[in-house]
Structure 1
Amino acid sequence: MNQLIERRKVTARKEKPDSASLGFGKYFTDYMFVMDYEEERGWHDPRITPYEPVHLDPSASVFHYGQAVFEGLKAYRSEDGRVLMFRPDQNIKRLNKSLRRMSMPPLDEKLALEALIQLVELEQEWIPIEKGTSLYIRPFVIATEPSLGVRPSKRYKFMVVLTPVGSYYGDQLKPIRIYVEDEYVRAVTGGVGDVKTSGNYAASLQAQRKAEELGYDQVLWLDGVEKKYAEEVGSMNIFFIINGEAVTPALNGSILGGITRASVIELLKSWGIRVREEQVAIDDIYEAAMRGEVSEVFGTGTAAVISPVGALHIHGETIELNNGLIGEVSERLYETIAGIQVGKVRDSFRWVVEV
């Protein structure tokens, strides 16, 4: 698919927010990318347009049957002024996996990557330069056909919006507190837990609110059948350092395959740290922690990169980890990945794409 990406100019530029007040996903840049799909034409009319509301019919399929998928990645400004993106090709591959699972038409990956690059290049003045900040990139696809039939839509929109962001959890490396959820479930094998579809996140909100009311930052989900095995945190994959080895739940069809997760596994192995991807019983974690064998726990994800965990609430009991401090492995991983992302650490894995 060789298509030119049309550009439509804004009439006036927005005022850029102060970097100290960015938060996460509060401000949006001047432009966005849009492309349409119709069954008889395929994907067509790729364009960069002014950021503006999207007009949809009240009976558009996305409102009624939930065909919506998305991705999240970031662009960074290096100290020498370059604009860098971290593994964008992997996000596009995962987006296509989500699209196929949700019976939505896949994208041409080269065109999608070119759209990301052109949009970020155009909006590079929006990339904040303070430590821990970045330009968050949100590609997403929604079903737009006006129809109330229970079937895949025949029309879709692919869009990309950009938002300058600060640290996801505020103090980036302050350990968070996690509530192990044993009432609600997130996903089961054979469902859609391993793709980034919007409904997964809507279904998680009740448990997240419950955790926050109890004084915890995030939810660690257990498997949906036995409620016995650790799976993932709401916005992250999870790792446990037990007796010097890294243990993380295996991708079993109900866990999202995180791009940061995959990067962490590669890094750990390159450092000579054994990584075990396997079924992880939460009771085994509890018992290992009671024996003092769990030296640290951390989450991995695009938004926070590495989130050290300072406490786990399991079966009504709160277990403090590493005296509430960041662990050695967590800190080294964060400094390495964050360093690669902004060009301060040598990218021996070729993960970074320069815009």
Structure 2
Amino acid sequence: MGASPIYTPRMRRALDFDGDDVETIFKGMQLDIGAPPQFMDFRYRVTDAKHGEFELAHCGALMDVEPMGLPFVTAMCHDIEDPTFDATAAASNPRARMRPVHRPPRAPADRMPHCLWTVTIDDEADPLPFPEQALRIADSRAATIEMARGIEGDGRTDYRGPLESDLRFEAFSTWTLISLLNEIALQGHLLTLSFNDSITRRFGAAVAHDIAVKRFIGIAGVAAGRVSKTLGHDASIEDVLRFHPAFHPSSYIDVRIGGGKISLHDCPAIGDAGSGIAWADLLADGETEPFAAIVRAVDPRARCTPVEPAAGARRTWAVTMASEAADEVPAVLLTKVSTGADFEFEER
């Protein structure tokens, strides 16, 4: 609730579509980091400008929590989704509401689709207030960072026009795809700020810092493995670091790679957003394990150690090779519990 009201309007601007109808809400959901295509297989139906529905033909998040038991399913599909879905809708229209027709726990146990929701815009309804969490994140530098934009003729540059059931990202121009990837990476930073802000307010700074470090290690290592696999067997550690979403957009977080070294430079991400903890803050404080998890995901023999900062850098780490493979750390192993860690996208 703290991040989606910020990044949804950003994505609308990036792809030059606007409005406050159901179709606009669904377009925003298609471009939400919380709804990766296929893994969270949303299927949308627009009835008219004020009515529609969506179902999840496959919910990867449900596949993760269902084996853990009913309390986990209820926590995710009720306690989390009720306010989150309304906040997502309200980012496009504060008078929009999302309500379940059915949702997990599934009865029968193999019920399909996994859930079904209606979306209604009621002009007589009281507008939902802007979430308090989002007000805090709106003050962050991440919320207002400007992205480089470019226009070229090798594909689409906007998402104007009707909703597309399966949005074909390859139809967009190179510069538009770069803008999209930067915005999606920024969504990850905004979610991190919001999550860490919430943990700090509930449990205090010490607990929040400990969780933030472990979360960064787990996500960094698993994402590096996916990036490495996508780039292919010839991908180097430096290649994976350069494409890793944690270090984009470069206008927000300035991590430079070269000559077997990784350097963090001063950037807007350091010291961002009050009680939130940015990933760059952890690196600026000298945390090494997120980088170590990344290099191990590419080559288990790789090690990452802090060294004297390079010229102009806040921190620098060196990547070296050991003779033996290192064991995976618990944070990465825990993150791999998710079916998303090995999920493979299909052409369709």
* TM-score, length of structure 2 as denominator length: 0.27
Q: Name the one with the larger strand percent.
A: 1
Answer 1 or 2: which has greater helix percent. 2
Higher RCO, Cα 8 Å, sep 6+? 1
